[in-house]
Structure 1
């Protein structure tokens, strides 16, 4: 997901309705549309993870094949005008090829060191980098990119063009700001100019080489930018579709569910503050409650950045601050005063959340037809948002890749209808054994993806093991009254700080395949150096 989410209120028609409805109820003017600076859905089912409760006509055979990981949007390979520009610029390099070969041979390592040293010193750029990534992958990748670019001839145009498109798609997927990309281009130009002047035989030769290299870098970055813009447009459309989708799922039920969760937190605080020993403050924080997790991971993603969501976030912050500052060591009178304030703040939150729900009309749905879980097209939106939350708040997240074991044998032995029922059965178990703040996806075929927000390794493995056990202990009842035992292999990957969501997916996928190879019906945590699954697309740049 890009680092910035499109605001719900920017969606034509819906945005005006939400702003106008909330404004009428609050007495405020509709707020201007802005973008949230973060990134990309038991008893009654949450907005984006409703349990399957009835049969549908759709069959597993009609589902799209699994692709690992989701590829960048397909586009025409290149346009004629840009290709002609490439050819002219590659032709201009020919007279200075010997000088550029010298730089390729011994000057690129120093250039890469300087480039990434400067980037790591910039706080804005450093959030997309880590010293380990720079050392092990990015420096060699930059040198390889420069070597390919400086050595390319007209016969290499297709490969060169595809390479720049790939880099542009990666920058868009990670959400690197355009100004940082162009700053990087300026730094590379400066470094190459210095290398040329140090090796050229006279000023005229230096100027000829500098002009050729500058022109080549310009068109390389133009090609990257075109791919970047297209990827961002596609991602923005999916992000907007997700908000439309996530807000329409059982609106009335979800509103009451969140009211109940907020009341449950309020009652827990009441009990703690009236007890002789209130217990640890951390357990009472609204940000750690079921309601708080829902608001952080789903409410903000669904409603966008509005005056109401900002106020809910601000009040939640005041609540947690008051608990931290006023509860420890408080006597009975101080606790009563704190409780009165907490109740007043909770009532404000209840009213604001009610206004947000009431401003939503009926919109088109977007679930997987068979399981009623989220469609996989929304997975990048959610992962981009979780990556941004991790960067901004330090809250880690995890991805579970779950594959139903021996599913082909189930289809072959019992028929596709039983296979469909098995998928629906597993989907219902996923809903019943995850939290309201988690996201559940049908990934394709017999694979599911679960995104767990605000978890560490121990909690993520515990949830994964709970899912594995629930599936193993809940056989499917067949039409003839028989029982079909089911098991699943689960790979777990925790966000490691890398800004590309495809990496955490690939790591979860690799861990899931290790679980398969280890005997199935087990949970495996992704670790460094784990072999890639068969057919996985290498993520190198």
Structure 2
């Protein structure tokens, strides 16, 4: 959720105060002490970073945020750079240090890193630094002075990170709550009937298969249907903590278990079918209860295309990352940028440009599922969040969108053949990295690669860009 002008002003004031604290601290530190810290050998700093991450990786909770490859190829070098910046800092570096710590704290908030993991890491850093100074400096008084200065520097760093973490977490919580309300209230009546129809279609398919003696094992479990995906990825997080949500979740699991038993049930088949239909009835009743809470609300949508705007993108991506980490199912992003959009505006007028945006939005709606998310990010950029989707399938969908778009000219008065609209599309599948901005950067890089390769094509993210 973007900062308001008042929040931006408050944050700037806080950063200025923190920078002044750094200046005061470093200007009072003895010159010999600063020189000792700045002269610590690179291998010593590398060992500090090694010890920091070894300790964190021993904590079972860290597995959600830290993978082995990420730690040793990306995070450890980043920590070494931070340590060098802190240990070599002078008073003139105060604002740079403040902003560096602010970015780190904001990142921790985005991935919801437990605060005690970070404070534990800083405690280990301080302890290992004390041991290193005792080895490197024969003068105990100078070593102690260096430890005191470095310790206060680390405290200031942790203070800056913590302030940014709290601010970011509060914004995320407000955004998530607002998004939940928005999701509930957006076209509630239409969504309720659509999901009820999907439930009925699944039930009728099961009844037909049983009546015709078909292969019941070919029926998808309810969790795997479009209704199941919608409820897991949109319904449950939108309705929040409500007992009817739990009822639906339990009923879906019970139906899937009964469906698995049906092929070999023999004389019990009708009894199992009756139990399945009872659970379906409970789901319908629970949906009625949940949807009765809501009414229409249009904020959070793009007025021109009726797609979501970027306001709730962080909430959606945080939720999908959490679901993916829990279930093991992957998701993917498609970033689509209309080719030569300025030319369309200049040649045919801004009304044609608006029509092109609606044309793309309509096509995206036809070629994606109801459980997926469609955003207009602004200008001529669109983002698709494909839930329960591996990279190969996401690439196929992107190729289909690209081909269908270029093969379907937009009708426009005075242009007999219509206006051809094409797009460059970047694809990136979630790879386990907990920061959604990292995934967005990968998708953005792939889209620009498609632009540079000649436009009207799809490029898949293969090489992860450097993350903060």
TMscore range, shorter length: over 0.9
SS in 1 for 2:12: coil
Q: What TM-score does the superposition give when structure 1 sets the normalisation length?
A: 0.81
Residue equivalent to 1:428: 362
Does the 8 A contact of 2:426 with 2:448 survive in 1? yes
In 2, Cα distance between equivalents of 1:513 and 1:98: 45
RMSD: 2.2
Per the alignment, residue 341 of structure 2 pairs with 407
Q: How far is the alpha carbon of 1:451 from its aligned partner?
A: 0.3
**Superposed counterparts of 1:345-356, under 5 Å:** 345-356=279-290
**Residue 134 of structure 2 corresponds to residue 159 of structure 1:** no
Q: How does the TM-score come out when normalised to structure 2?
A: 0.93
Q: Aligned match of 2:431 in 467, 472, 496?
A: 496
SS at match of 2:42: helix
In 1, the alpha carbon distance for the partners of 2:83 and 2:214 equals: 65
Q: Does 1:457 find its partner at 2:387?
A: no
The equivalent residue for 2:231 is 295
Which fold has the larger relative contact order, with Cα–Cα distance below 8 Å and residues 6 or more apart in sequence? 1
Does residue 248 of structure 2 align to residue 312 of structure 1?
yes
235-244 vs 439-448, which moves further: 235-244
- Summarize deviations over 1:362-395 as a string: whole Å, max 9, x none: 4452211111110112111111111111111111
Aligned partner (choices 8, 23, 48) of residue 87 of structure 1 = 23
> How many residues are aligned here?
461
Secondary structure of 2:424's partner?
Answer: strand
Match of 2:220 in 1: 284
Q: Which has the higher helix share?
A: 2
Paired residue secondary structure (1:477): strand
The 5 Å alignment of 1:255-404 reads 255-280=192-217, 283-324=219-260, 326-331=261-266, 333-363=267-297, 365-404=299-338
Shift of 1:352: 0.7
- 1:106 is displaced (CA, Å) by 3.0
Higher mean C-alpha deviation, range 457-466 or range 285-294: 457-466
Contact persistence 1:93–1:213 (CA under 8 A): no
Deviation at 1:178, TM superposition (A): 1.5
Structure 1 pair 194–310 and aligned structure 2 pair: CA distance change class (3 A): farther
Which residue number in structure 2 is paired with residue 5 of structure 1?
A: none
Task: Name the structure 1 match of 2:449.
Answer: 514
Of 85, 103, 109, which residue of structure 2 is paired with 1:172? 109
- The secondary structure found in structure 1 opposite 2:421 is coil
Q: CA deviation at 1:197?
A: 2.6
Q: Give runs of ≥4 in structure 1 deviating > 6 Å.
A: none
Alignment pair present for 1:419 and 2:346: no
Which of residues 124, 128, 138 in structure 2 aligns to 1:191? Answer: 128
The CA deviation string for residues 238-283 of structure 1, in whole angstroms up to 9 with x for no partner, is 22222222222221111111111111122222233444342436x4
Q: Is the 8 A contact 2:216 2:262 kept in 1?
A: no
Alignment match of 1:505 (pick from 409, 432, 440) = 440
Provide closer, same or farther for how the CA distance between residues 130 and 275 of structure 1 changes in structure 2, counting only shifts above 3 A.
farther
Q: Which runs of 5+ in 1 are unaligned?
A: 2-71, 533-538
Matched, 1:540 2:429: no
SS at match of 1:469: helix
Show CA shifts across 1:99-130 (max 9, x none). Answer: 32343433111121222122222221121111
Is 1:214–2:115 an aligned residue pair? no
Conserved 8 A contact 2:216-2:263: no
Aligned partner (choices 451, 463, 467) of residue 528 of structure 1:
463
